[in-house]
Structures are given as structure tokens and as C-alpha cells.
Amino acid sequence: MPVRLPFRPRRDAYPPDLWTKCPGCAEMLFNKQLDKSLRVCPHCGHHFRIPAKTRIEQLVDSGSFIERDSDLSPVDALGFVDLKAYPDRLMAAQLSTGLRDAAVWGIGNIGGRPVSMCVMDFGFIGGSMGSVVGEKVARAGEAAIADRIPLIIISSSGGARMQEGTYSLMQLVKTMGVVERVKAARVPFISVMTDPTTGGVFASFAVVGDVNLAEPNALIRFAGDRVSSGTISEELPAGYARAEFWFSHGFVDRIVARAHLRDEIIALLGFLIAPPLNGSAETPQAPVSRPRSFLSALTGALTGENVAESHNGETGASRGEAPRG
């Protein structure tokens, strides 16, 4: 007959609302302590994925963020059905995250400086970019241009949303068009890549910031290992898809831990925003770069010189002077 011990055996399962197992070091972490460390494992430094609203609370000045276009919702234009109908997936994601779609954008202050910020939420269908996400990114860029304030986009996405087909692929063109206008207007653009930043989001706006930041060990790539290695017909180096690899090759400018991300952005804003002139409160307006502006000015200058030379030649001939050889 087996001996029964007077105490309960140690259990392997823990309540998910109290404990979280770290995927990096397999340590069991108390959720309240994990929240105090900004969802970063104190043992191995693993950065857990966090919701968009939590990210905004960590970065912006308290009470300064005003969300815009919160009522935008995606539609099932294609009648797409896989294992579930697309409307059912949307409803489940909206109930679990409290968001209408996978991005939140608005105007807030970071270190007292106004910024236009768009933050993606991986919890909403993998942070996939459909028509609504692309529209919010575009509107954040347009607001940055209109108000001449820095644009900050924090990416956390698996790529384009397949349930919207070509509509999702068109967002690459729309978002990049707005980003190019932001750059032409000389408005600062800071891109923050978190785990993961892949697919269509990687291929468009996430990697073209004036400054590209990344969280430690973030997954950053366009396609999976099999597709990437098959495309180049070579074996990929170890760790090629992590932030540290991109940093060592100059693709990422800085790897910043979550606890220091706000201070890093504040410092960058101090470098990228010109100080007021002569103690005035207004920031000087940077000239807007227009296509062919340099060539047009150069052509005008050459035309003016030719006209001046022709006038000089006519004047010299009228006085009977010999023409210049």
C-alpha cells in the first residue's frame, strides 16, 4: 500500500492570472512583479509583448495622449473565410483587446514635446496591417506634417492581413507615400521595432525612420527562414532575424531596453527638433523639399547668365566693339 504524505505534492500548473512562465529562462514570474518591471523578465531580460495602450502609458506624459479615429473599424469586403469567418475573427479580437483594430494613434507629449504617435497591438490578429491600420498610420503622418511635430511609430506586427487580400497590400504604398511626404517636409520620424516586426510592416514604414530603434532580441524580418533561404539559395546565419544582428550590420541605430525607451526618445527629440530662434516660442519652419527644386533653380540661374551675356553682346556690338571670342 503506497504511503500518503501529509502535504500536497508540488504542482506544475500555476494560475495564469497570477504567474507567467518566461519563455527565455523558464522561470515562473509573479504577474504583479512582472508588471512593475514593465513586463521584462528580471532574470534574463526577456521583453514580453504588451498591449498598445500599455505602451502609450509608458511613453507619453501622464494624461497628455488624445486618441484620434478610435471609431474606425475594418469591413469584410471580400467575404473571407478560413477556419473562421473574418467578421468572427474581428469580433473575437475586439472583445479580447478592447480595440477596434490593431493600431492606436493620437497626439500626446513626450518630455513636454508634442508628437504624433501610432502604436500597433500584436494581440489583435497578430498586429496585422489591414486597411484601418494603414489608414491610421497615414493619418498619424499627415497630422505630423500639418502640425510640424515629430512622428513616432511603434511596430508590433506579423505583416499584412491576409483576410483583406489586395486591400492590405495596398497599405504598403499608402503608408510609404505619407512617410516620404514626412521626410520631404523635414519632420522627424522615429521608428521603434518591437517583437515581432515582420512582413508587410517591415517592408514599408517600419525600417525607414530617421532613427530606427529596437527592443532587445526583437524578431525583425520580412519572411520566414524557409522562404528567405530559398530565395537566396543560401543558408542563413544564426540569429539573422534578431535586433542584435540588424544593429551589428547598421540596419538598426540603437537597441534600447524598455525601461530606457522613453528617455531615449526624449533625448532624440532634443537632437532632431531645432531650438526656437532669438528666444521666440515658435520653432522655425523648415523649408519643404519639392521634386526637381534644385534642378529648377540651377536651370534658372544658367538661363539668367545666358540672357545677361546676350544683352552684353548686343551692347558691345552697338558700340562697334569686336565680339568676344
69 with 94, same domain: the answer is yes
Residues 102 and 212 in one domain: yes
Convert the pLDDT of each residue in 249-277 to its tens digit. Answer: 999 999 999 999 999 999 999 999 877 66
Give residue-wise pLDDT tens across range 167-177. 999 999 999 99
Q: Are residues 220 and 181 in the same domain?
A: yes
**Closest of 13, 83, 97, 8 to residue 51, by C-alpha:** 97
Whether residue 151 is found in the same domain as residue 34:
no
pLDDT band at residue 300 under the 50/70/90 scheme: low
Same domain, 236 and 251: yes
pLDDT band of residue 314 (cuts 50, 70, 90) is very low
- Residue 282 — very low, low, confident or very high, per pLDDT cuts 50/70/90? low
Residues 95 and 25 grouped into a single domain: no
pLDDT at 36: 94
What is residue 113's three-state secondary structure?
strand
3-state secondary structure of 268: helix
Q: Do 164 and 268 lie in a common domain?
A: yes
The pLDDT of residue 109: 98
Task: Dump pLDDT digits (tens) for 33-66.
Answer: 999 999 999 999 999 999 999 999 999 999 999 9
44 and 147 in a single domain? The answer is no
Helices (H), the chain: 31-36, 52-59, 86-97, 131-147, 166-184, 199-203, 225-232, 243-248, 258-272, 293-318
CA angle in degrees (0–180, nearest 5) for 287-291-297: 75
Question: Residue 19, SS3?
Answer: strand
Predicted confidence (pLDDT) at residue 215 exceeds the cutoff of 70: yes
- Cβ 187 vs Cβ 151: under 8 Å: yes
* pLDDT at residue 16, rounded to an integer: 65
Name the region of 43 (left: φ>0; alpha: ψ -120 to 50; beta: rest). alpha
Instruction: Please check whether residue 321 lies inside any domain of the structure.
Output: no
In three-state secondary structure terms, 301 is: helix
Q: Which amino acid is at 164?
A: E
Question: Does residue 317 sit within a domain?
Answer: no
In this structure, the answer to whether residues 88 and 173 fall within a common structural domain is yes
Same domain, 31 and 74: no
Distance CA 186, CA 38 (A): 33
* pTM above threshold 0.75: yes
Q: Which helix (H) or strand (E) holds 35?
A: helix 31-36
| Residue range of the domain that includes 62 | 50-272
- Residues 20, 31 contacting (CB under 8 angstroms): yes
Whether residues 65 and 40 share a domain: the answer is no
- What per-residue confidence (pLDDT) applies to 79? 95
Quote the pLDDT of residue 108. 98
Are residues 102 and 24 located together in one domain of the fold?
no
Number of independent structural domains in the chain: 2
